[in-house]
Amino acid sequence: MKEKATFYHAGCPVCLDAQNAVESIVDRSRFDLEVIHLGEAPDRLAGAEAEGLKSVPALATGGQMIHLNHGADVSALKN
Amino acid sequence: MKEKATFYHAGCPVCLDAQNAVESIVDRSRFDLEVIHLGEAPDRLAGAEAEGLKSVPALATGGQMIHLNHGADVSALKN
């Protein structure tokens, strides 16, 4: 069974650069990579925050939240 | 020929967590992953900065420098 990796972003330029890199490097034979646009799926925000999300873009895997560069704080994604 | 990915760190706890994640997710069939401890290899610092390194840990790949969380600024690695 594959491990899960989740890439969280918000469509920002920094996010898209990071998404390209993540989609390129992640070993898809071992990881199921899910890409979540939190602007389009705001219902995923609470769960992401519970996983440790502070800013986007970020990659959650193996119980860790890895923030990749810095596009926007989570607070900027809330209305 | 494999693409190159370089993980820069300085041995800090944040660095080691990120290193574990990177070593786990990177597709080694397509990427040669080099791990550089800048405290032990200070001669690699100038080149890393030229690639865009601002802080460690970070992953350089495909012409991008992706800073992963935040362990230490590059300035803290200079004596």
Q: What is the ipTM of this complex?
A: 0.91
> What is the per-residue pLDDT across A21-69, written as a single tens digit (0 to 9) for each?
999 999 999 999 999 999 999 999 999 999 999 999 999 999 999 999 9
- Is pTM beyond 0.90? Reply is yes
pLDDT band at residue B78 under the 50/70/90 scheme = confident
CATH number at residue B13: 3.40.30.10
A78 close to B (CB below 8 A): no
What range does the domain containing B51 cover?
A: 3-77
CB-CB neighbors (< 8 A) of B27 in chain A: 25-29
Label residue B30 by pLDDT band (50, 70, 90).
very high
- The chain B residue lying nearest A53, using CA atoms, is B69
Q: Please, are residues A13 and A62 in contact by the beta-carbon 8 Å criterion? A: no
Q: Which residue has the tokens 């925050």?
A: A49
- H or E segment and range at residue B49: helix B45-50
Q: How many domains does chain B have?
A: 1
